[in-house]
Structure 1
Amino acid sequence: MTVTTPSCKPFRVIIAGGSICGLSLALVLEKAGIDYVLLEKRDIAPQLGASIGFSTHGVRIMEQMGIWDDIRAIINPLQDYGHYEADGTLFYTSQILPEIRKVTNRPQLLMSRQTWLQVVHSHIKDQRKIHSRTGVASYTQNDEGIVVTADNGETFEGSILVGADGIHSITRSLVADEVEKVDGDAKAAKQMKEGFAAHYHCIFATSKNEYKNQPGKPIMPEANVADFSGKDHCGLVAAGMPGQLFWFFYLKSADITNTPFIPKYREEDAEEAMRVYGGAHVGPECTFKDLWDARVSSNMKALEEGVMKTKWSRGRVVLMGDSVHKVNTPPISPDELQRTETAKCTINTGLGGQLALEGICNLTNGLVELLKTSPSPSSGEITQVFTNYETKQRPRAEWAMSISGHQTRMESQANWIYWAFGRLILPRLPDWLMAVGTIKSIYVGSPCMEFLLRPADILPPQKTTVSAS
């Protein structure tokens, strides 16, 4: 179905950004029969040394996208979870991932970001709508539509512009400029540009699952996950794909910085971090230095965090994905920590990727419903769809920021409360209880695409308790 206006111009979405959020949105819009064009300033699916994780609900959305069979064929569904001391002593083990899968019939996964993007890209039927090496430079909008000018001079006409171009979003910066110059709201514009803070930085890397000096000897069993906690630093590794390890090493930054003034890190910085901390174990034999030596690709970046406080849209422009919410949150007070569900939900791998997919569901559901009754919607009708999307998405984003932030601070022992929880309470919680909390918090009530066949839902959460007791 192609939705047309009385002037025979199709309702058209211009997508800025071709990474996780933007490319997924393109595929979903194609399935919804809504015309679009995607502009990505770099190549599609570059190798950045990064991985991407998804929760069980993210898998449910992948089923609707039609990509799950391809993804399932190339991943190791994550299973055993081990928590280690820096000297390699096993602190405790967890079976929360198998418990969650038992109820949802879907796994938790961690895989190559590049591979995931390649799979999504391969499922898009009309590749002519994907424009790589074409970034957004500016836009103009009015009551009739929006015109985007690319950095190569090309212009693209559409009905709305979706800024899915990441934490350093050009689209968000352009909206902020418009808010300041046209609306005269300098405070809101400043918040949009500087509202994300970095308290931590991280090495993201992919390594071969074999020791550099002992070819053929696996560093860790397939499908296993392991982590380690230290003062102001922590790390995690997962054997998420056959023969590959995806790992993260988090370090607390010396200073808190804000966008757009967040520092960039070089290879030398990562090498220095491994020189100082590489001896930390993430298994009985494996150290992070072993992972570093076996690396295929790596990158060190600041961990920007936060949810944009100002409105996520203006006129015919709407922001989504990392351009408005980025996992990890600023430190919170001890009493707030005690009020959260961190005790029930500590496995947060995949919240960032999941938020992107949830935002796509919330926005596209609204567009599909609007275009059924108003093929040529007014600016006011579009604004209402954007408002509804933000109303549904913002609480999920703020919750995910809180959970992810708590876990980072617990694993890096940010204060004595986080230390006590991670060392004394968490190991004593039964896996089934943590699984129930995770399912309740992440899975139940999360959105799907209402215009596509809805995958089978999970069993009622209370049945988990009965079967595990």
Structure 2
Amino acid sequence: MTFLDRQLALGVLYDHLTDKSKVLTKKGLKKVEIEDNGVRVTTEDGELFTGDILVGADGVHSKVRQEMLRLSEPGHFPPETKAMPCDYGCIFGISNPCGNIKAGSYNGVFHHNRSYLILGALHDRVFWFHFFKLEKRTYGTDIPRFSKEDEAQQLKKVASDPVMPGFTFGDIVQNKITSNMTAVPEYTYNKWHYDRIITTGDACHKFHPITGHGGNAAIETAATLTNGLVKAFNKSTSSTLSSPQISSLFQEVQDIRYKRVKDLIQVSHDQQRVEALEILSSSL
């Protein structure tokens, strides 16, 4: 298994698009309006876009989900955002080649209430993750957001942790190119869609990244949605789908994906508990 910079992966995908004109950047979502036969979106720079459906793949702080909640009838969505739990934080980064960490290598390091993933990437760059348990479980809007000062203090605190024979985490940090610190909420919402709007990826199911399931699950949900759309159009006698047909399709996507997503979120959470030596049997 070899890691590479996300920008490189996106570049490969972009280079293979046949119609690049449909990829628009810096188009933050401002407002969504549901019409009789479609959806209208206003961007932060004032442009208007219309379409049959809106798919929100815009992450844990999804603006599309916020707009779904705003547009829906009172009580349609349970107050799930406030119940979103978070037990861990993460600092992830990339470092220049260091030590004997070569492309394709994988090192998992267990410590009490913290753990590490040290991964050899393309050109022997080092991709690394430092996971740590928060002082207490937080929920929703109380989930912390970290500053660069918070990040520096946490990195200093654990710099002496050994991650390989004769090699500390601080040795890797000294060679870092970039890093970021974030909280790691873990959840799947009970409702992923409303009318002609559906969310995917972290906007509806968020994993602890320790297993790598998050990105894969996002791809699986997108593929399930695509397959559902193709199937629905093949069955339809019209070139468009009605709102009830779309709602039914979106619910089918959620029904197919929900249990698998929920189970894998628990698998990821349990793996972090093992690697942070929280489970008694893990530390014996």
* 2:134 paired with 1:224: no
Partner of residue 361, structure 1: 223
Kindly provide the CA deviation profile for residues 100-154 of structure 1, in whole angstroms up to 9, marking residues without a partner as x: xxxxxxxxx4332222222222222211111111111111113311101111111
TM-score (norm 2): 0.94
In structure 2, give the amino acid aligned to 1:190.
P
Partner of residue 71, structure 1: none
Q: Distance in 1 between matches of 2:264 and 2:7?
A: 24
Partner of residue 127, structure 1: 20
In structure 1, give the amino acid aligned to 2:85.
A
In structure 2, give the amino acid aligned to 1:324.
C
Partner of residue 390, structure 1: 254
TM-score (norm 1): 0.58
* 2:50 paired with 1:157: yes
In structure 2, give the amino acid aligned to 1:206.
I
In structure 2, give the amino acid aligned to 1:388.
E
Shift of the alpha carbon at 1:241? 1.6
Partner of residue 7, structure 2: 114
| Unmatched 5+ stretches in structure 2 | none
Kindly provide the CA deviation profile for residues 212-245 of structure 1, in whole angstroms up to 9, marking residues without a partner as x: xxxxxx4413311112111111111010222211
Partner of residue 419, structure 1: 283
Partner of residue 75, structure 2: 185
Shift of the alpha carbon at 1:274? 2.0
Partner of residue 63, structure 2: 170
In structure 2, give the amino acid aligned to 1:184.
P
Kindly provide the CA deviation profile for residues 6-62 of structure 1, in whole angstroms up to 9, marking residues without a partner as x: xxxxxxxxxxxxxxxxxxxxxxxxxxxxxxxxxxxxxxxxxxxxxxxxxxxxxxxxx
In structure 1, give the amino acid aligned to 2:33.
T
Shift of the alpha carbon at 1:184? 1.5
Q: Relative to structure 1, is the Cα distance of residues 160 and 203 closer, same or farther in structure 2, using a 3 angstrom cutoff? A: same
Q: Distance in 1 between matches of 2:51 and 2:83?
A: 29
Partner of residue 96, structure 2: 208
Q: Relative to structure 1, is the Cα distance of residues 350 and 328 closer, same or farther in structure 2, using a 3 angstrom cutoff? A: closer
Q: Distance in 1 between matches of 2:169 and 2:22?
A: 42
SS in 1 for 2:218: helix
Q: Relative to structure 1, is the Cα distance of residues 268 and 219 closer, same or farther in structure 2, using a 3 angstrom cutoff? A: farther
> Is residue 27–residue 45 contact of structure 2 (8 Å, CA) maintained in 1?
yes
Q: Distance in 2 between matches of 1:262 and 1:398?
A: 21
Paired residue total = 282
* 2:195 paired with 1:315: yes
Partner of residue 233, structure 1: 114
Aligned positions of 1:51-70 closer than 5 A:
none
Percent same amino acid among aligned pairs? 28
SS in 2 for 1:134: coil
Aligned positions of 1:278-357 closer than 5 A:
278-309=159-190, 311-328=191-208, 349-357=211-219
> Is residue 176–residue 190 contact of structure 1 (8 Å, CA) maintained in 2?
no
Q: What is the CA RMSD across the aligned residues, in angstroms?
A: 1.7
Shift of the alpha carbon at 1:189? 4.8
SS in 2 for 1:242: helix
Q: Distance in 1 between matches of 2:132 and 2:251?
A: 37
Partner of residue 245, structure 2: 381
SS in 2 for 1:246: strand
Q: Relative to structure 1, is the Cα distance of residues 122 and 259 closer, same or farther in structure 2, using a 3 angstrom cutoff? A: farther
> Is residue 195–residue 306 contact of structure 1 (8 Å, CA) maintained in 2?
no
